[in-house]
Structure 1
Amino acid sequence: MVVGIFDVSGVLFGLSRMSGLQNRDTGEIPGSKWAFTAAAVGTIVAAMFGCSPIIPAIESAAGLKEGGKTGLTSVTSACWFALAMFLTPLFGNIPVEATSPVLILLGAAMMGEASEINWYCMYQALPAFLCLTIMPFTFSIPNGIIFGTGFLVVLYISTGQFMSATTSGQEDEESLRRIRQERRPSSINVAIDAFEAIKQPHFKRKTSSLYLHEATITNL
């Protein structure tokens, strides 16, 4: 079940980003609930017939690259998959030496998505690097995702950033900061507010402009 969730999530996020359906600000995907529901129902039906899980295929990216916008693209891909079943013995005789260059180019193209990772944030960089490392050595994409997700949870808990990463944790921090500010003496509040204002970029720009104006008047 966990592997199926990871597979569906990866395909869904990848295809939605490619098609421009994903909200860049919130990361939400419209209609994602129905996509997961369809994958769950397909997996149940496949288990009843003793088949492999029925989940969205990443090969749908080929249809998106060709400009597919409707469900007819999926139907066309399904027809080609059905025709390819009769050619499976022929494809199985293709030597590894012939497919290796294609896989190398495919891997190089997939590495382009690594640019979306914030490598300056260790909470994203370390789990992502662990995923990229575990996948080729274990020959399994789900294993890499599981290791990366587990390490991310351990990292957040061990560094004390788990509560701040959630919405409720941010609200708790804001309320705690507000209580501390109310309990401080007024003179300390004024000093802290002045220090916070000095750190703001607009204050530095105004201060620099004031110095420049005074220097100009002095030279005149």
Structure 2
Amino acid sequence: MSKIEETSTLDRIFKLKENNTTVKTEILAGITTFMTMAYILAVNPNILAAAHMDKGAVLIATALASFIGTILMAVLSNYPFALAPGMGLNAYFAFTVCGTMGYSWQIALLAVFVEGIIFIILSLTNVREAIFNAIPLTLKSAVSVGIGLFIAFIGLQNAKIVVNHNETLVTIQTFSGELFNSVGVGAILALVGVIITAILIIKNVKGGILLGILSTWVLGIICELLGFYIPNVDAGMFSVIPSKIISFDFSALGNTFGQFFKADFSAIKVIDFIVIMFAFLFVDLFDTLGTLIGVSSKANMLDKDGKLPRIKGALLADSIATSAGAILGTSTTTTYVESASGVTAGGRTGLTGIVTAILFLLATIFSPLFLTIPSFATAPALIIVGFYMLGNVSKIDFNDMTDAIPAFLCIIAMPLTYSISEGISIGVISWTLINLITGKAKEKKISILMYVLSILFVLKYIFL
């Protein structure tokens, strides 16, 4: 098959011309999305290790779950959204379910599996799609902006530019002291990376975000070779020079694959299990919806009524991926906000997702190489993507206070609560209450579903 025929086939499958994109753009976007998500391959095993899970097994399960979920998203919806085990959900899995509540990781995986099955049913019955469509356009724009701030905040934290502080909660990194050659240099390189990425984007260089990541990584390697950057494991700063490139040992997966079938079911308290499952269900539902709203809004994929065409396929892919991930041995797999980096790089179709998925599959072989990419190299991409998503604030009507105030609360809640779903919760509750109490219910056409969502969100805060 000639190159022209291949391009024609891809155009027919993914409708490239219809979406004003090209094969080259989609490939670059797919690589960019993967590069900004690759940190999950290192972070997820470390978090789930706190639940006494095997790190090697979780790494392979994470890569495979991401591959399966992203492929399903591309095939079922033709959207450039990528999936992976969700941040926040993995922490709840390890530190709350397996830590505070004392359940085994096998039982926690069972809860994730059941949650995925319920989601599949909800996706097939249009419940999740109805929830998406019920959220007003103002809040959808606010969600996009909030996610942008959240992504930028994650980038600043990953690079250790913003760090913990006892009195003010967060503060800027101190560029002096004994950790300067590890944490300090990493933060400086991240800031340099932001400038490099910004310049590339301003100059309209194709793949500017990806080149920014690679440039920052190369600078890190040079600094380590010259002795300016000194790895410090205790400070979470590792060597950026690959010591090993490939590994074909997949035997570790057997330590988690299908293990929830061997769980001690006698130890399960029915009420506790329902609460655990509902918590996974709740956070996954609104994290996914928030991500779909935010990223699709940024890419102008929503129709004139604020609805996302083919959303049922996207939600179904997310649901199946969750159950598949549980079988493999990882926490809830969900649509990733980092998909915005690929969209910003021009990705508009499932071809972007196919490329990202293939790279996740390759990561099972090249994991030693991919895991060497430092967080300070991917942080600039997250910060710049946050800037891009902030642009949707212009779609919010700040002259209408009944829309603007709930939108503001939604935006500010996401980075400050470190949760997309909390931002949506606060946005939905405040929008419904403010418009109801001020007598704007008829004018704003508040749907029954918005009332139901608001009540459920309030009950969540009372009982969970």
Q: Same fold (TM over 0.5)?
A: yes
Partner of 2:182: none
- Counterparts of 1:1-220 in structure 2, within 5 Å, are 1-24=281-304, 26-84=305-363, 86=367, 87=369, 89-91=371-373, 94=374, 103-166=382-445
Which whole-Å CA distance do the structure 1 matches of 2:420 and 2:283 have between them? 9
Partner of 2:51: none
Which whole-Å CA distance do the structure 2 matches of 1:56 and 1:137 have between them? 21
Does structure 2 retain, via aligned residues, the 8 Å contact 1:16–1:29?
yes
Which whole-Å CA distance do the structure 1 matches of 2:390 and 2:420 have between them? 14
Q: Residues 62 and 30 from structure 1, CA distance in 2 versus in 1: closer, same or farther, beyond 3 angstroms?
A: same
Partner of 1:204: none
Which whole-Å CA distance do the structure 1 matches of 2:336 and 2:414 have between them? 19
Partner of 2:139: none
Point out where structure 1 has 5 or more consecutive residues left out of the alignment. 170-220
3-state SS in 2 of match to 1:142: helix
Offset of residue 129 of structure 1 = 1.0
Offset of residue 126 of structure 1 = 0.7
Amino acid at match of 1:75: I
CA deviations 1:107-149 (Å, max 9, x no partner) are 3333212111111111221111112222222222222221122
Does structure 1 retain, via aligned residues, the 8 Å contact 2:338–2:382?
no
Q: Residues 168 and 66 from structure 1, CA distance in 2 versus in 1: closer, same or farther, beyond 3 angstroms?
A: closer
Does structure 2 retain, via aligned residues, the 8 Å contact 1:63–1:77?
no
CA deviations 1:58-111 (Å, max 9, x no partner) are 3334444454454332111112234456145423xx476x66665544433332
Amino acid at match of 1:157: L
Partner of 1:181: none
Which whole-Å CA distance do the structure 2 matches of 1:42 and 1:100 have between them? 26
Does structure 1 retain, via aligned residues, the 8 Å contact 2:302–2:308?
yes
Which whole-Å CA distance do the structure 2 matches of 1:105 and 1:157 have between them? 38
Amino acid at match of 1:118: D
Amino acid at match of 1:46: G
Which whole-Å CA distance do the structure 1 matches of 2:421 and 2:283 have between them? 6
CA deviations 1:9-43 (Å, max 9, x no partner) are 2332334334443212x112221122122222322
Point out where structure 2 has 5 or more consecutive residues left out of the alignment. 1-280, 449-464
How many pairs are equivalent?
165
Which whole-Å CA distance do the structure 1 matches of 2:436 and 2:415 have between them? 27
Q: Residues 114 and 167 from structure 1, CA distance in 2 versus in 1: closer, same or farther, beyond 3 angstroms?
A: closer
3-state SS in 1 of match to 2:444: coil
Over the residues paired in the alignment, what is the CA RMSD in angstroms?
3.1
3-state SS in 1 of match to 2:423: helix
Amino acid at match of 2:293: F
Higher relative CO (CA 8 A, sep ≥ 6), structure 1 or 2?
A: 2
Q: Residues 67 and 140 from structure 1, CA distance in 2 versus in 1: closer, same or farther, beyond 3 angstroms?
A: closer
Q: Residues 99 and 49 from structure 1, CA distance in 2 versus in 1: closer, same or farther, beyond 3 angstroms?
A: closer
3-state SS in 1 of match to 2:336: coil
Q: TM-score, normalised by structure 1?
A: 0.60
Does structure 1 retain, via aligned residues, the 8 Å contact 2:298–2:392?
no
3-state SS in 1 of match to 2:422: helix
Does structure 2 retain, via aligned residues, the 8 Å contact 1:60–1:77?
no
Which whole-Å CA distance do the structure 2 matches of 1:89 and 1:20 have between them? 33
* Structure (1/2) with the larger helix percentage: 1
Offset of residue 49 of structure 1 = 4.2
Q: TM-score, normalised by structure 2?
A: 0.31
Amino acid at match of 2:312: K
